[in-house]
């Protein structure tokens, strides 16, 4: 049965699509030995094969199927990314790739880590983008965004834009960027246990990649 498609705050889906397409596109610059899927173009093909039908299902209002497709492709990409991090550690230990290749591919993985976890936060927080968009305001979720503390959504006073504020993909991208750069959520406290676990995983991956880059840089110098 087609789900009800009335949304108070419709959120565009294309930023998520572009983020995952960028993850697939970045793999084209990876050495074959360190590529997430072994063949650089395979991940981009996988993303397109999953997300194009997902976009069609979203347009038809079949949000449950769209959500399942999103979880599936994200799970595959996340598992493959973790495997690729392991391959990078092995390559550093055995010096099986050139320093330039290792530096470039580790940088690509660092960006991939930001994009992938931004997609996870965007898909999981407060029931996902569809459920967030059905609400008049974002008052509860896994993350306490500053806008959630600035205005009471039930009050008639204050800025109307703040009272109706809801996070979009860019907000989760910023959160993910801070988590990989500062290894902390900075101005967005984490409330839910699942979000804390995901942020620990993301921070661990970022720390390993930064350590790889630093170790390689020291060896070069």
Residue 80 covered by a domain: yes
Rounded Cα distance between 3 and 25, Å, is 33
Residue 96 covered by a domain: yes
| Number of domains within the chain | 1
User: How many Cβ atoms are within 10 Å of 151's Cβ, its own excluded?
Assistant: 18
Q: What is the pLDDT of residues 149-190, one digit of tens each?
A: 876 655 555 566 667 788 999 999 999 999 998 888 788 999
- Answer whether residue 121 shows pLDDT above 90: yes
Residue 51 covered by a domain: yes
What is the band of 1 on the pLDDT scale with cuts at 50, 70, 90?
very low
Residue 27 domain boundaries? 14-220
Residue 53 covered by a domain: yes
Q: What is the pLDDT of residues 9-38, one digit of tens each?
A: 567 778 888 898 898 888 888 887 777 666
Residue 9 covered by a domain: no
Stated length of the chain: 221
- 73-77: list long-range contacts, CB under 8 Å, 24+ apart: 73/20, 73/46, 73/47, 74/20, 74/116, 74/119, 74/120, 74/123, 76/46, 77/20, 77/23, 77/36, 77/43, 77/46, 77/47, 77/116
Rounded Cα distance between 80 and 84, Å, is 6
Residue 7 covered by a domain: no
Residue 4 covered by a domain: no
Q: At what angle do helices 193-220 and 99-124 cross, to 10 degrees?
A: 170
What residues pair up with 143 in beta bridges, in sequence order? Answer: 190
Residue 197 covered by a domain: yes
* Per-residue model confidence (pLDDT) at position 58: 67
The structure's pTM equals 0.84
């Amino acid at each position: 049965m087609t789900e009800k498609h009335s949304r108070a705050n419709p959120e565009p889906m294309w930023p998520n699509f572009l983020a995952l397409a960028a993850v697939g596109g970045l793999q084209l610059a990876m050495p074959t030995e360190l590529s997430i899927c072994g063949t650089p173009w395979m991940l981009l093909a996988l993303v397109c094969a999953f997300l194009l039908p997902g976009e069609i299902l979203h347009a038809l209002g079949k949000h449950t199927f769209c959500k399942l497709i999103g979880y599936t492709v994200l799970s595959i990409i996340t598992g493959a990314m973790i495997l690729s991090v392991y391959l990078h550690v092995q390559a550093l230990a055995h010096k099986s790739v050139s320093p330039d290749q290792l530096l470039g591919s580790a940088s690509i993985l660092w960006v991939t880590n930001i994009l992938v976890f931004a997609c996870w936060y965007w898909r999981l927080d407060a029931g996902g983008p569809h459920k967030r968009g059905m609400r008049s305001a974002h008052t509860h979720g896994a993350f306490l965004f500053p806008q959630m503390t600035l205005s009471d959504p039930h009050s008639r006073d204050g800025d109307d834009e703040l009272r109706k504020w809801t996070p979009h993909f860019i907000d989760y991208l910023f959160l993910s960027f801070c988590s990989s750069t500062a290894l902390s959520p900075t101005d967005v406290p984490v409330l839910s246990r699942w979000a804390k676990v995901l942020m620990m995983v993301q921070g661990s991956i970022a720390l390993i990649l930064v350590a790889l880059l630093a170790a390689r840089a020291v060896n070069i110098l």
